[in-house]
Structure 1
Amino acid sequence: MGSKVQAHTLPQGNELRIEVRSDKVLLLKLVEGQAEIFGTELALGEQLSIRGQKLAVYTWNGCTVELTSDSAAVEEVLESVYTSEDTPMVSYLNAHDALEQRRRAAKEAGTSGRAGPRTIVVGPTDVGKSSLCRILLNYAVRTGWAPTAVDLDIGQGSITVPGSICATPVEGPIDVEEGMPIDLPLVFYYGHQTPTENPELYRALVQRMSAILDKRDNVDVQSAGLVINTMGFIEGLGYDLLLHAISALRADVVLVLGQERLFNQLRTHLKAQAEVSVVRLHSSGGCVSRTQQVRKQARMQRVREYFYGVRGDLSPASQTARLDDLRIYRIGGGPRAPTSALPLGASSVADPLRVIPVSASLDMMHSMLAVSHAATPDQLLSMNVAGFVLITDVDIVQRTITYLAPCPGALPGRYLIAGSFKVFLE
């Protein structure tokens, strides 16, 4: 029979790598010394509830961490737990120091100088891009800045639901349990799990996001810069979209995790741009490759957290609306045939940015719809979204839809955007 308490003492420069089972909760407490999780400092004696996460407790000076469980033996809650001295944290701190120098230089130059660092983290799947972004954001916060987190990873979603392109200011340490702050997010809904569905729409939304971020004229905000998370799709179209993101967001620091080939590709492509620094960093040995099924489960979990909260303590509202009171649109339409499949000399007539009305049907069941701030259909591409609803029922005869919303009350807009993203919550 296992123990309900485990104590782990870490020497300086070591980390405790923990994998909590997806359906379990681990209680973690720092009982001695100093430690952090992805750059967020742990308070001595404070107990955290870790739900189905993979994380690393790192200490610069040594610490003791206590793991407990209310429901079962600790061994039954964990997939894995071990201590490692082989970590990339020193190189990540060095990267932060270099970004810090750029922030200070930007602040001293004021509005007459260039903005602070726009850092984009790139690499294949499962190399720790999201974790590095959190570390860099937290370290910036700890030195007095409020950087902006940008998430271009539509497949997983580290700020809000998958299928979205988002940005949010980070003004305090990122909560270990709750994740990224979502009080003031800027969100555009792409609506699909992969950019191959509509790459032109993906490009357009990244471009629109950049235009809005560029309009901020506060010196402190501009000096703090951006930390941009990206997809693990880095071949072919994925690489082209990566280059577009670097250009559109005017990223001047490119941190490449885990793949030397990608590092050399980017260094070659960007060598003419003297203002862009391409730096290779090693990924953590604690990174674990995930199967497609695990990724799908993670997407569903992100949606569940949006409606029910990380702890399951929120109460979303099930509401019914008349279809005549709403307007549902899809962006992009026409034939999907690739150029190679068309007759010789012909070109596709599909308009990837065309706004098309959607008629209600049973196919809409389990769809995520974004509620747009747009006042007219023409604004659907340029306006960000207020939030999301999940369609749970469609009544064609009565011309009503039933949807799950994060809170009760009327929707903040009548224009909704549909994509191909389906959600099946258990």
Structure 2
Amino acid sequence: MAAADGGGPQQLTLEPQHELRMEVDWGKQVHLQLVSGQAEVFGTALDLGERVSIGGQKVAVFTWEGCTLQMDGEPDMMYTSDETPMGQYVSIHDVLDARRQEALKAKGEGPRTFVVGPTDVGKSTLCKILLNYAVRSGWAPTFVDMDIGQGSITVPGCIAATPVEAPIDIEDGLPVDAPLVYYTGTPTPSDNPALYKHLVDRLANVLDARAQSDAQVRASGLVVNSMGWIVELGYELLKHTVQALKCDVVLVVGDERLYSQLSMELKRSSPSTQVLKLARSGGVVVRSRELRAQARKVRVEEYFYGYRKELSPASQTARFDELQVYRVGGGPRAPTSALPIGATSVADPLKLSRVANPQELLYTLLAVSHAPQPELLLSVDVAGFIYVQDVDLAKGTITYLAPCAGPLPSPLLLAGSFKTYLD
């Protein structure tokens, strides 16, 4: 890489099949422009002369043929590498593309690809690349995000799916015009694994119905991003997701043991499922617990205010008794080890309980449900979210932040269990 000296815009030259890796913290902006050649960011091609803004992101600009970039701003970290997995990723795309072609001709199912591995190995990046390459080949795959701890489609605490019909925007991320969203209300499935499995099953049923109604959607298939919890209960939940979503391609990133486990078990239970092993991406940065919590907060802020703070959410006040807020779960359950031998917990993990004390909702996200009645809260997806800013017990009111002004689409709300403190 060659760069011009000086404090102004820099010119960067990348050799063929090299990658520029860049980290820009939240609150900062770096502008990139493609001056000559060819380049892409996670599979999204840059147009000549196009200027993109990078902020609060870790990106990799890859070139097959070589390119010249102009950069304005100072990244927190920047380097180039010729050791990238792009050749392997393109080979996988070619295989998936061939399967989509075959599925369309036969009016059958396209590949349902599940990307699994521990945290911080590049799962989300691989999903973006596979989605973008599929779109550039004329397909419209559905992206399914099972990583409820971070949330790349909507806020954390959700499993969600969205059709991807155009390359993913480098600045704005995934399209969210018509997402299918189910709210677990927690950043980890361990808080209520039965609820997680129930919502995975609901999502799978809806996706199956959508696929059956459109041959192109059916042939385009799914790309599924998993959470990074891959041991013990987390591993069981991964297997449940493979079965529920009928995944027939499993890409294991950066974990030999997980690859071995899944290869053996799926060979017995789903012999037609392909399990492939991929190396961890060299540009991945391991994030601390604090950084993950900060990322969750940023995702919530982006939901209400937009990536560039271009949105104007509305702060509104409502009487609490005019809302129906429910929480999922039958209360705390004793661990199996604490129960008498042979006994099982009688608490229902899917029980809906109406929230009587609004104070416990302060600084939490509430999902606004499409459900027509409380009994269907766990069967129907959600319309969106509000954030509880203040509670006035004397007046019996709550003040909340909503994406737009006006009455809520429904008084039926699902409460989350994690708090987010927005500035």
* Structures share fold, TM-score greater than 0.5: yes
What's the counterpart of residue 403 of structure 1?
400
Aligned partner of 2:72 among 64, 68, 71: 68
Q: Any idea what the Cα deviations from partners look like across 1:76-95, whole Å, max 9, x if unmatched?
A: xx221111000000000000
Counterpart of 2:28?
24
Offset, 1:285 = 0.5
Per-residue CA shift, 1:391-415, capped at 9, x if unaligned?
0111122111110001111111110
1:271 aligns with 2:267: yes
**What is the CA–CA distance in structure 2 between the aligned matches of 1:425 and 1:323, rounded to whole Å?**
21
Contact 1:335-1:349 within 8 A present in 2 as well: no
SS of structure 1 residue aligned to 2:387? strand
Task: Specify the SS of the correspondent of 1:271.
Answer: helix
Q: Which residue in 2 is equivalent to 1:262?
A: 258
277, 281, 287: which is aligned to 2:278? 281
1:39 aligns with 2:39: no
- Cα-Cα RMSD: 1.1
Task: Name the SS of the counterpart of 2:155 in structure 1.
Answer: coil
Unaligned runs of 5+ in 2: none
Deviations for 1:305-330, whole angstroms, at most 9, x for unmatched residues? 00000001111000011112210001
- Structure 1 residue 127 and structure 2 residue 124: aligned? no
Q: Deviations over 1:97-131 (max 9, x none)?
A: 00001100110001xxx310000000000001001
Question: For 1:184-217, what per-residue CA distance to the aligned partner results, in whole angstroms no more than 9, with x for missing partners?
Answer: 0000000001111000000000000000000022
Q: Determine which of 194, 219, 223 is the counterpart of 2:219.
A: 223
Residue 173 of structure 2: aligned partner? 179
Pairing 1:380-395 to 2, within 5 Å after superposition: 380-395=377-392
1:291 has 2:288 as partner = yes
Moved over 4 A (4+): none
Name the structure 2 match of 1:240: 236
Number of equivalent positions: 416
2:198 to 201, 204, 207: 204
SS of the residue aligned with 1:215?
A: helix
Taking the TM superposition and a 5 Å limit, the aligned residue runs for 1:56-135 are 56-69=60-73, 74=74, 78-110=75-107, 114-135=108-129
CA contact (8 A) 1:360 1:394 kept: no
**Counterparts of 2:8 and 2:234, CA distance in 1:** 45
Following TM superposition, by how much is the alpha carbon of 1:21 offset from its aligned partner in structure 2, in angstroms? 2.0
1:274 deviates by 2.3
What is the rounded CA distance, in whole Å, between the counterparts of 2:8 and 2:124 in structure 1? 31
Partner of 1:143: 137
Contact 1:334 1:349 in 2 (8 A): no
- Tell me the amino acid that sits aligned with residue 93 of structure 2: H
Q: Distance in 2 between matches of 1:395 and 1:360?
A: 11
TM-score (norm 1): 0.96
SS in 2 for 1:330: strand
Q: Distance in 2 between matches of 1:320 and 1:361?
A: 13
The counterpart of 1:379, out of the listed 376, 379, 398, is 376
Task: Give the alignment's TM-score, normalised by structure 2.
Answer: 0.97
Q: Is the 8 A contact 1:253 1:276 kept in 2?
A: yes
CA distance in 2, matches of 1:349, 1:361: 27
Q: Identity rate of aligned residues, in percent?
A: 57
Q: Deviations over 1:46-65 (max 9, x none)?
A: 11111111010000111011
Deviations 1:129-150 (A, max 9, x none): 0010000000000000110000
